[in-house]
Chains A and B, each alone.
Chain A
């Protein structure tokens, strides 16, 4: 079974926000909830600026899952970390635990009233029957079950965002790195998956 992962190739990402919008469109995500967002590091600093698109990374040892008081997370056999909104109590713990700020809430959390947590599903829906109306209303489309990949990655303008079988995306990425001879950092992988083609954000000289 494939292990689904994301790579955002920061040498390509141009902060066009297509990924973020594609997600909104595909899943009818409401205002204020951002399953995916784009962040620019060193904004405006010549020679140092990099943009990264970030959503749930579907971590191997997912902190969100570990802290959830009602255990509403589960992992599919493709490694996708999903959750059950029926069980979610909106405590926000997953959002405190998630390194990437993935979990989102429809409401602001005063008196703990956040509503049900929502986050990137890797376009794989939720516990309801695949493709059902109920699943769509709670989690958005289930593209994986249709044999498609995440909308965000599919619509990425520059194909900076790769989503799919971890081995395949890593391969594509590696080939790119080899042809261009730079930009080998796989952003977020160290944190999310613990395994590392090149440990993500750990500076190379320290990783050695």
Chain B
């Protein structure tokens, strides 16, 4: 009997052919830069005590094998290193490509970020090489059906229509929704493209993701980004996740948390749902959705009461804590419990854990940002960390987990309605700076816009494009309504108020969707609801874009590390890269020459020209001084990608090492040169692993809070106090940001070279294109070019300078609305009128809370990403979540006679009635329900399959929660309120 098989025993040698293939895959195995078994197991053990872990890392050696691909066989086999395109963790992947086909995917154990690990989405990446459910060629909606057209026709017709709209209604009547899926190069190019079209009406996912964070955090201490890194969390002694479900949304980040936990780190999770993340927590705190400020203030109450705040830190580095303290002390434990439902003991315990186990870190994500008071909530979290003195400390910080794979990069340099790349804003100076960098004439660009006023006025946001189309013309803050939409890597089901969106889609003149998976938008535009007629004058075009595996480019992870993706495969089917499409459209629109004035063109798919990614990155390097995107040249990034194993997993630093290929010395660099990586590449700034960290020299990635808000306010000093500065700084107190004047005053001007002097004259650290000012500050004097100031606990330029709790516009607690009402309505806010109090009041008066007694929240499943069209098209993922569902508490379900697994109808005040399966679970409390937002393709119970372009429907379709979500926007950034609305749930009866 065949019970034991010996390796290489006769029976198997005897088996048929397959010799060739066997040899093939064996040499393949050897060619792969992967670990051998022993090494893998060692890596798996990491996190067992710092000492052991560190030594284990050193033990790890790559399986050094003959790196000879078997060319002899005529088979071309390569391994291309790329980065997962789903979330901001930035997991590296090795793609094995045979004769241009992506045949295999291997984990990159060397990556300090993911150690070879993935979540379901990353582990299923290779499906992008199949792309069976993708859009395969350009299509146009003709008589309600999508028909194939050629690229030439498509580009011609689209540009004609856009030019016509531009001519009739002005450039602001076109809205470009860009993408956080674009790499940095494409994102920057798109911002330039939109500018040259002549509008600021552009946006991308960051708006509906972390816009409140970016605004709130940047206004608190300088930069709107995650302060530390996933890896750095392994140094934490306590971590509080508040509004983050990292186990599903940033799964690989959890490995670093687990390492910390195993070394005694305490973990707290504050969330309305008991999530997979909460399951790992030492303490789980259930709060009512939208009540984070009462909870955070509840914690601060105990911190202040017990004197746990870091007084010295606050004195030296924080402005306005007194005012906050006053507000905090009003939040007595009773009021806290009333507002967020958490009893005093729980709040106290969390406060104590965070205060007595330092460094402690706070992690947040969408649970905090997606509220009409998102900007205030995130600032309250910052304040907590400032009070505890945790910011600028390894193991501390605010670990803001960002969303899409390149949402950080797209926020930094991409299509934002209120800023040019690098947060330069839209003022004349900013335009001039970028015009210089782009090599175009400022006056020409100005001439492209309706007026200079429109050129310097922030555009509308993606959360409100629907209103930009539908709102009465006299109420909007631009001449004409938006008439044409270009969805360039963004799904429709991610924006709220689906019923209104359907109306807006129908009213459009032109709709262009440029996406590998444009089908959700396509189906929504093509569907006819209740026998309704489609707008006969509207044209809808679908263009197949290539994915990020079909091009190369850089991508910025949440921790600000930038990684370079190699191209894995050629664009599939008829798809083209986004930058090729931008270039080709620009040709038709008449500004191609300007678009690539300083960019090299190279032959891309089919020999057609496209801008070269390296060249585009260099343009970013040349212009983005504000946030230090200047040091990350393609060469340095590629050297990092080749030498991942030389970076420490906890500190992300390379202790010592050279890139064999180029001889580049990696020593001292932090992995991916996390921005700010100041100065030119020659300066060799190592990147900044943790922001505002005064315990390191600026040339070691150290820093301090940014002086962005002046030097004093009402006679109070805004700069850091004496003695508070980064290690080794020549100035040992606070100082403002640097410009030519300050350099001269300090007598440092002569540290510049002659050439630098010429470039720096009349410039500041952000606009000096030679990088001389930055070099002198950093290298010569050890100071930060952006100054050394205090963080602001009071952000006086925001509607609520001290963060205040306000009830959501659609809520179940009219009693609390009376105490904590929302803002007053706004006119001309991002070009649109925006409702707050009138609507909230109306809702209270209409007694909506009784008709819709359950709080409806939404969020993520690990298997799907964003609108989900891409991941639901991947059968390996789709099988894992085959239907949309609503999480409903057993008690609430019983009261409605709903049983687990049955269909239920979720209705909201918009009139929407969506049909989803009931998942009866104690994950949510009886007053809360939760629906994942990744589904689309059903419309209020009906499958929209017939409206999909042929062959491009995803494997799994379902009801989009955003069909039912309601009105509500953040008072600073126009973030949509997706985490808190109200609903009723009924049993479905056919």
Q: What B residues does A73 contact at CB under 8 A?
A: 3
Question: What is the CA–CA distance of A82 and B862 in the complex, to the nearest angstrom?
Answer: 31
Assess the A71–B2 pair: CB atoms within 8 A. yes
| B954, chain A: closest CB distance, angstroms | 14
Q: What A residues does B879 contact at CB under 8 A?
A: 24, 31-32, 34
| B909, chain A: closest CB distance, angstroms | 28
Given A16-B119, A146-B29, A127 and B11 touching (CB < 8 A)? yes
Assess the A14–B251 pair: CB atoms within 8 A. yes
Assess the B44–A172 pair: CB atoms within 8 A. yes
| A36, chain B: closest CB distance, angstroms | 11
Question: What is the CA–CA distance of A197 and B665 in the complex, to the nearest angstrom?
Answer: 47
Q: Hey, what's the 0/1 contact readout for B264-294 against A, CB within 8 Å counting as 1?
A: 0000000000101111100010100000000
Interface-central residue, B36, B262, B877, by most chain A CB under 10 Å:
B262
Assess the A157–B4 pair: CB atoms within 8 A. no
Question: What is the CA–CA distance of A151 and B261 in the complex, to the nearest angstrom?
Answer: 26
- Segment touching A, from B121-129, B672-680, B982-990: B121-129
Given A131-B22, A175-B48, A179-B263, A21 and B880 touching (CB < 8 A)? yes
Assess the B12–A77 pair: CB atoms within 8 A. no
Given A14-B276, A44-B922, A51-B279, A133 and B46 touching (CB < 8 A)? no
Prevailing SS type, chain A contact patch: mixed
Q: What B residues does A21 contact at CB under 8 A?
A: 120-121, 123-124, 876-877, 880
Chain A, range 1-46, C-beta contacts under 8 Å to B = 11-12, 14-22, 24-26, 31-32, 34, 40, 43-46
Assess the B7–A77 pair: CB atoms within 8 A. yes
Q: What A residues does B565 contact at CB under 8 A?
A: none
Assess the B284–A129 pair: CB atoms within 8 A. no
Given A16-B247, A74-B3, A158 and B255 touching (CB < 8 A)? yes
Q: Hey, what's the 0/1 contact readout for A111-144 against B, CB within 8 Å counting as 1?
A: 0000000000000000111111111100001000
Assess the B18–A158 pair: CB atoms within 8 A. no
Assess the A130–B12 pair: CB atoms within 8 A. yes
Assess the B40–A44 pair: CB atoms within 8 A. no
Assess the B262–A76 pair: CB atoms within 8 A. no
Question: What is the CA–CA distance of A180 and B282 in the complex, to the nearest angstrom?
Answer: 12
Q: Hey, what's the 0/1 contact readout for A171-195 against B, CB within 8 Å counting as 1?
A: 1100110111000000000000000
B921 at the interface (CB under 8 A from A): yes
Given A15-B247, A24-B876, A128-B12, A46 and B274 touching (CB < 8 A)? yes
B167 at the interface (CB under 8 A from A): no
Assess the A180–B119 pair: CB atoms within 8 A. no
B25 at the interface (CB under 8 A from A): yes
| B594, chain A: closest CB distance, angstroms | 43
A95 at the interface (CB under 8 A from B): no
Question: What is the CA–CA distance of A22 and B126 in the complex, to the nearest angstrom?
Answer: 10
A50 at the interface (CB under 8 A from B): yes
Prevailing SS type, chain B contact patch: mixed
Q: What B residues does A75 contact at CB under 8 A?
A: 3-5
Question: What is the CA–CA distance of A161 and B41 in the complex, to the nearest angstrom?
Answer: 11
- Segment touching A, from B110-118, B445-453, B683-691: B110-118
B719 at the interface (CB under 8 A from A): no
A149 at the interface (CB under 8 A from B): yes
Interface-central residue, B30, B34, B123, B922, by most chain A CB under 10 Å:
B123
Question: What is the CA–CA distance of A149 and B124 in the complex, to the nearest angstrom?
Answer: 18
**Choice from A15, A43, A134, A151 contacting B921 with Cβ under 8 Å:** A43
A203 at the interface (CB under 8 A from B): no
B63 at the interface (CB under 8 A from A): yes
A196 at the interface (CB under 8 A from B): no
Assess the B251–A158 pair: CB atoms within 8 A. yes
Q: Hey, what's the 0/1 contact readout for B32-54 against A, CB within 8 Å counting as 1?
A: 00111110110111111100100
Q: Hey, what's the 0/1 contact readout for A69-94 against B, CB within 8 Å counting as 1?
A: 00101111100001010000000000
Question: What is the CA–CA distance of A15 and B28 in the complex, to the nearest angstrom?
Answer: 31
Q: What A residues does B395 contact at CB under 8 A?
A: none
Q: What B residues does A178 contact at CB under 8 A?
A: 48
Assess the B117–A156 pair: CB atoms within 8 A. yes
Residue of B nearest to A14 (CB): B247
Assess the A132–B22 pair: CB atoms within 8 A. yes
| B91, chain A: closest CB distance, angstroms | 9
B248 at the interface (CB under 8 A from A): yes
Q: What B residues does A76 contact at CB under 8 A?
A: 4-5, 7
Interface-central residue, A14, A43, A127, by most chain B CB under 10 Å:
A14
Given A17-B863, A25-B126, A155 and B29 touching (CB < 8 A)? no
Question: What is the CA–CA distance of A179 and B52 in the complex, to the nearest angstrom?
Answer: 11
Question: What is the CA–CA distance of A136 and B119 in the complex, to the nearest angstrom?
Answer: 24
Q: What B residues does A18 contact at CB under 8 A?
A: 117-120, 122-123, 251
Assess the B37–A148 pair: CB atoms within 8 A. yes
| B678, chain A: closest CB distance, angstroms | 33
B105 at the interface (CB under 8 A from A): yes
| A200, chain B: closest CB distance, angstroms | 20
B635 at the interface (CB under 8 A from A): no
B133 at the interface (CB under 8 A from A): no
Interface-central residue, A133, A155, A178, by most chain B CB under 10 Å:
A155
B252 at the interface (CB under 8 A from A): yes
Q: What B residues does A84 contact at CB under 8 A?
A: 2
Assess the A74–B5 pair: CB atoms within 8 A. yes
Assess the A25–B105 pair: CB atoms within 8 A. yes
Question: What is the CA–CA distance of A130 and B23 in the complex, to the nearest angstrom?
Answer: 9
Residue of B nearest to A178 (CB): B48
**Choice from A11, A77, A133, A172 contacting B6 with Cβ under 8 Å:** A77
Residue of A nearest to B875 (CB): A31
Question: What is the CA–CA distance of A45 and B275 in the complex, to the nearest angstrom?
Answer: 10
Q: What B residues does A136 contact at CB under 8 A?
A: 21, 25
| A80, chain B: closest CB distance, angstroms | 9
Question: What is the CA–CA distance of A171 and B255 in the complex, to the nearest angstrom?
Answer: 19
**Choice from B28, B118, B261, B279 contacting A180 with Cβ under 8 Å:** B261
Question: What is the CA–CA distance of A159 and B63 in the complex, to the nearest angstrom?
Answer: 20
Question: What is the CA–CA distance of A34 and B43 in the complex, to the nearest angstrom?
Answer: 27
Given A14-B247, A24-B876, A147-B36, A165 and B921 touching (CB < 8 A)? no
B895 at the interface (CB under 8 A from A): no
Q: What A residues does B262 contact at CB under 8 A?
A: 176, 179-180
Q: What B residues does A32 contact at CB under 8 A?
A: 879
Assess the B120–A16 pair: CB atoms within 8 A. yes
B16 at the interface (CB under 8 A from A): yes
Given A21-B880, A128-B18, A134-B16, A16 and B248 touching (CB < 8 A)? yes
Question: What is the CA–CA distance of A169 and B3 in the complex, to the nearest angstrom?
Answer: 25
Q: What B residues does A151 contact at CB under 8 A?
A: 107
Given A74-B4, A132-B18, A146-B26, A14 and B280 touching (CB < 8 A)? yes
A103 at the interface (CB under 8 A from B): no
B532 at the interface (CB under 8 A from A): no
A98 at the interface (CB under 8 A from B): no
Question: What is the CA–CA distance of A49 and B30 in the complex, to the nearest angstrom?
Answer: 41
Assess the A155–B21 pair: CB atoms within 8 A. no
Interface-central residue, A26, A76, A148, by most chain B CB under 10 Å:
A148
Question: What is the CA–CA distance of A132 and B22 in the complex, to the nearest angstrom?
Answer: 4
Q: A158-B258, A159-B255 are in contact. List 17 more A-B contacts (CB 8 A).
A: A14-B276, A17-B863, A18-B122, A21-B880, A74-B4, A75-B4, A75-B5, A76-B5, A132-B21, A141-B25, A147-B37, A149-B37, A156-B117, A157-B114, A157-B119, A159-B43, A159-B258
Closest 10 CB pairs of A and B: A132-B18, A146-B29, A44-B923, A17-B120, A14-B247, A16-B251, A22-B123, A131-B22, A49-B279, A172-B45
Q: Return 24 A-B CB contacts under 8 Å, by A number.
A: A14-B279, A15-B862, A18-B120, A19-B123, A22-B118, A22-B123, A34-B879, A50-B279, A76-B7, A128-B18, A131-B18, A133-B21, A134-B18, A148-B29, A148-B35, A155-B122, A156-B117, A157-B255, A159-B46, A159-B255, A164-B37, A168-B41, A175-B52, A176-B47
